[in-house]
Structure 1
């Protein structure tokens, strides 16, 4: 399923010495709600028959497969019971679900005969042995008939509907009726009835489905069997298809309440469209217990305010298990609405994509809370502990941290269940984090202790995001952007688009005397190395990108020479065609400080030497060009380059990038390169140098066109681009003034863009 990013800073890896956990809620293509939850459904609810349908019924992909397996297990278990548990489940499965019709016909022949043995494929099967020994021909005939029906009524998966042969299905119904009437066993008759009614239903012959039900059911004794409810499901489906919604809904409610193997199907099929239908359905119910099930089913509709249904269930049946399940479900929804809302860095996305928080969620929380208080005051529920914990948590979700703390403290000694004691403690830890208003040395140590010593911190994975997001929010609120960034991200994520205020704040922190434990961790990377030099490099590079080269050089010089030498480049090489990933042929390399020193030196020499000035300025232009997005030394001024960003030009020149909170900023500014190429051309005493400078200026113009909003050219096709005239001034200059140079002839041979232009 999933892509992952590290939500929190790696500083805790060093400080607290345990593995970082990975957030399941984040990823480059993540379209799920992103928030926090500390209400553990595995702790706070009992294993009731309905738990999957109220609390875990979220993944239909898994639900279909698991439900199909459950039906199979229940069916095999019932078959085994009919044969006094004398045959194994595995052997039953082999005959009922895997054997072919051919194998079953051979089994029938062996069962009829005293002398013909079982086919070798079934000779060791205990079910086959039992059928032959006891001459169970009716059972074998039924199993053969069921396999003949199977292709018409089963699907490969939940998305596939088998091709229906309605004529063939009706032929089977006719044959099956005859077999039904000849069968003496009431149990096998019931099985035949199921096959016939199902065939008619899937053939969309709904009236015949009901007719078969009325005709067949009275002809066998009512037995204690799951098949009764399977048959009812098909009757309900036919009623629903014929517009008899109320009758169908009543049957679905019965199936939901009584039959685990068809509970999911009933849950999905239950549908009431109007208030009139609802009133009529309530009148059909025989008792309050049945009515309570109706309200529980309706409570799961997305449009329903479940607390209204909970109030009805409580009124009808205070001990109903569904009350606790619905309580937990509503609290999980309210967690999405309110828990950490002010500091959840995905809050805008949640609102935009899922409309969370919901409209009027505040009023709804108050209503749920009032209901919980009422339940506790009236003392009618069997188990008050979960209601007490919910009461305290609703104070927390409502932002009343003082009352939440008082109430949690009050009930600490009243909770007896070990699992609920854990739940209470988890919520107390969440409260401690949520209630932080400012972070000072004491607070940092307290939050650090949660990470380091709280055993439930690792067990409840949302604590990581919850804690770090809260820290980041609080740091930002107190004008500490560096700490806020390090609370959520590894320092390497800053390189894609360095924010000066974050860099400066972290540099200030690096130079601080008497750091706290947390602050010491903030100024280390994931390997425990000091980040000062990394920050200085980011600061200097950003100054370099803005062409503030003297300030950039002074900053670079603060980095020890041994550290500066890690990354080396040669941006002074000359090429005709762009190749961003080509290794330079020249073996001379420079670190960033040396590049700036050479640029300063070349600029000085260019101004001082009239004869060679053009060559020096040309070299500077090459350096700026090659250190841009378009050159092979782009890493001198950038941490990451994406070729795909040609397609997403924007005014800010910042592009989404996985793992970068501020996106990736590309270095496409060619203004300084163009300035020095033009300067070289103007002062050139040699037309060859002037022609080279004009060509490089033309490359700058062309790349400016590619990154302009007016460009619709795809750089990855083989067509020759045709930019507007304003992006072709230097190509025109080459043709008009430098056509007699060797450079011009070389360009005609090696640059097809220019050659195409020159031929016009």
Structure 2
């Protein structure tokens, strides 16, 4: 039996995924956005920002790693409040957290009483002036700086620093003793007293004196009535020390208290709770109140990516007013979205989707949705939660997920949106927009007009969101730094690209669908756009490049010249200029190449600027990354290794050459067979299996050799259909047996291209099964090739057949004496 690789058309190993009808190469594409792996319209911060890091995601341990609040900012506020109104919070933060080592040295000398000039940036710093006026505060600051080298430890976990050498541990213990002495001396100043005690607890902990750490917390810090954030930091130290003393359940319980009380240490406390890994019931038994029990339930629930009724019901019974209830409800709704909305661009249609989109899973999701709707109704009717209207808006959205748009609209109508918090009001408007989209039909243009204000509102929300992040991070960096905060951008992207664009595709209004795909890009992506594809995400670019046929592109060209005479025209006003760009004319010309209208393609390419050129594919695996020039008119016996050209060939040149061949068929009919053969070679080599795919496609993956295509030009790109027609015509017009044998062999190659799989999972299943207990299925298919039969019966004695059989082992197997 011949090895699977020994074919005329060699299959390569690959991994690929689909977004609708768009194929991409995962190895070369962007990494999946961890905040957009399913289509979501219910914002995860509707209930507030306090627990956003624990929003639903099954791609990572946490939705985001940053704490809900800034510890430096909280500490700076406390210091500014203590020192008086003339001290600015950001002046505190600049000195305490923002000074480099050289500046820090100058600050310490200045505070120690040396006459040193301060840098201009600190000369008027109100915090330094406040410290100079408050001797206890200044002395504490200097002492804290003395401890700083020992406090800057490397952790295995946040409560578990790497061991220090004996000398360092002894010195840290002495510093802790000194801190307690200073705390005693500052007993009348609770602000300073607390901080000295905290430093003592910290040094005891880091030196391994865990009993002293716990004693310091219990004797010095726990009795205080001060609600300073330092209390929570000290409690975290006690929790870590308790764990090291062999009390893991109590340590986990203490971390659960930090989790609720200290938003600036919430993520740290959550991680530590789970790192300890103690039985849940043991921790729960230590709780002293319903609020504490609710916190412990929540911490466990936040680590559960599956549907979870028990946690949200338990927390609501224990602490119905807590924001934890709203956060957990939002998490459950987001989980439902991952099952009941269509998958996002990165994951829809991939082979793994078959395993996560089973009918049973969807039925389970719908059952859970009904339960969540009932829970939301209870939340709204009982009025115990701080914002019971969340239950109404949540239930409305769940009804929309279930396809009950009328019921969703009725629920929204029962709420006075003006009385909602800003975030819940925004979520209300998003659900309302989704309900209105559900009613949209292309035939009723009035619906488009009625929806325009809502879509413009959404545009303004995402623009404001983008501008805020630009101010915070800068133009080039904010997008990846603040990806988790781009909620309105993701809502708009999903609405335009996953709801509206597919709707217009179903209505066969592909030109509008194309504009909506475009519109779905973030304002950041198109703000500085210069051409058709500038700053587009790959789903939109692939949609334009793979789905738009010449008639649609001509319609878009008309809109670019004359404007869009439809109610939604204002949504696209800033974009239509790109429909006169080089990228657009290249796309239109390429679309005509795919339709074999070569004169029309030449006409489109004539609009290109002289300097326009697309990137040329290169062989990444060669030492010099060799350029892969097309060579479309060569006829090769083997498709692999590909035989590339030696010089550039533009699409315009290819179009002219193909049009010339078509003209010659009429002008020189005696040689028509050869012209048809060259035309067939031209379209064959522009297939995925050829050496010139870049002339009709903007991308290529090895998956194209295996999977059934879903583009309008897939018949050529995947299955060589037009090539087969022209090879057939070439054979019919010739009486030369050697030439006819060559045409027949090429027809056999074209027929082999019809062996395709609907999905990668089908391909892997067929390949794996063949390796185990049955022959290679492609070999079986090839042995039934009707053109192999013709070659054996009619052309076996030709010189060409001798050459072809030596090159193609499938053909050799077929004509062998013991073959079928």
TM-score (normalised: structure 1):
0.62
Matches within 5 A, 1:529-608: 579=645, 581-582=647-648, 590=656, 592-602=658-668, 604-606=669-671
Match of 2:71 in 1: 71
Question: What SS does the corresponding residue of 2:685 show, helix, strand or coil?
Answer: coil
> 2 CA distance for matches of 1:623 and 1:251?
77
Match of 1:403 in 2: 407
Match of 1:264 in 2: 267
CA deviations on 1:440-477 (whole Å, 9 max, x unpaired) are 623x6524653587534534553564466456666787
> 1 CA distance for matches of 2:126 and 2:104?
14
**Larger of the two Rg values belongs to structure:** 1
Q: Tell me the CA shift for residue 179 of structure 1.
A: 1.9
Q: Tell me the CA shift for residue 71 of structure 1.
A: 1.1
Question: What SS does the corresponding residue of 1:318 show, helix, strand or coil?
Answer: coil
> 1 CA distance for matches of 2:595 and 2:300?
62
In structure 1, which of residues 315, 320, 323 is the aligned counterpart of residue 322 of structure 2? 320
User: In 2, are the aligned partners of 1:39 and 1:423 still within 8 Å (CA)?
Assistant: yes
Greater Cα shift, 283-292 or 249-258: 283-292
User: In 1, are the aligned partners of 2:452 and 2:568 still within 8 Å (CA)?
Assistant: no
Match of 1:209 in 2: 210
- CA 143–583 in structure 1, closer or farther in 2 if over 3 Å, else same: same
Match of 1:388 in 2: 392
1:52 equivalent in alignment to 2:104: no
Q: Tell me the CA shift for residue 254 of structure 1.
A: 1.9
User: In 1, are the aligned partners of 2:677 and 2:727 still within 8 Å (CA)?
Assistant: yes
Q: Which runs of 5+ in 2 are unaligned?
A: 1-17, 23-27, 462-487, 519-539, 558-563, 570-575, 611-629, 637-642, 756-766, 768-775, 777-795, 805-820
In structure 2, which of residues 229, 235, 252 is the aligned counterpart of residue 226 of structure 1? 229
Higher relative contact order (CA 8 A, sep 6+): 2
Q: Tell me the CA shift for residue 313 of structure 1.
A: 2.9
User: In 1, are the aligned partners of 2:594 and 2:713 still within 8 Å (CA)?
Assistant: no
User: In 1, are the aligned partners of 2:243 and 2:251 still within 8 Å (CA)?
Assistant: yes
User: In 1, are the aligned partners of 2:173 and 2:204 still within 8 Å (CA)?
Assistant: no
Matches within 5 A, 1:435-450: 441-442=443-444, 446-447=447-448, 449-450=450-451
Matches within 5 A, 1:405-424: 405-409=409-413, 411-412=414-415, 416-417=419-420, 419=422, 420=424, 423-424=427-428
TM-score (normalised: structure 2):
0.58
CA deviations on 1:682-720 (whole Å, 9 max, x unpaired) are 699xxxxx9xx9999999999999xx999xxxxxxxxxx
Matches within 5 A, 1:591-630: 592-602=658-668, 604-606=669-671, 617=674, 625=681, 629=685
1:83 equivalent in alignment to 2:140: no
Match of 2:175 in 1: 176
1:146 equivalent in alignment to 2:155: no
Match of 1:746 in 2: none
Q: Tell me the CA shift for residue 173 of structure 1.
A: 1.8
- CA 704–254 in structure 1, closer or farther in 2 if over 3 Å, else same: same
- CA 79–399 in structure 1, closer or farther in 2 if over 3 Å, else same: same
> 1 CA distance for matches of 2:78 and 2:546?
65
Matches within 5 A, 1:680-759: none
- CA 475–566 in structure 1, closer or farther in 2 if over 3 Å, else same: closer
> 1 CA distance for matches of 2:259 and 2:446?
52
> 2 CA distance for matches of 1:50 and 1:495?
41
- CA 674–440 in structure 1, closer or farther in 2 if over 3 Å, else same: closer
User: In 2, are the aligned partners of 1:496 and 1:665 still within 8 Å (CA)?
Assistant: no
Aligned residues: 635
Match of 1:352 in 2: 353
User: In 2, are the aligned partners of 1:426 and 1:456 still within 8 Å (CA)?
Assistant: no
Match of 1:237 in 2: 240
CA deviations on 1:413-464 (whole Å, 9 max, x unpaired) are 586337455543432331233356xx5623x652465358753453455356
Match of 2:115 in 1: 117
> 1 CA distance for matches of 2:132 and 2:421?
54
Match of 2:166 in 1: 167
Match of 1:718 in 2: none
> 2 CA distance for matches of 1:236 and 1:450?
54
> 1 CA distance for matches of 2:126 and 2:437?
61
> 2 CA distance for matches of 1:701 and 1:168?
82
User: In 1, are the aligned partners of 2:258 and 2:269 still within 8 Å (CA)?
Assistant: yes
> 2 CA distance for matches of 1:128 and 1:503?
70
> 1 CA distance for matches of 2:435 and 2:109?
72
Q: Which runs of 5+ in 1 are unaligned?
A: 10-25, 511-515, 545-554, 608-615, 685-689, 711-725, 735-760
Match of 1:428 in 2: 432
User: How big is the alpha-carbon RMSD for the aligned residues of Structure 1 and Structure 2?
Assistant: 6.5
- CA 234–120 in structure 1, closer or farther in 2 if over 3 Å, else same: same
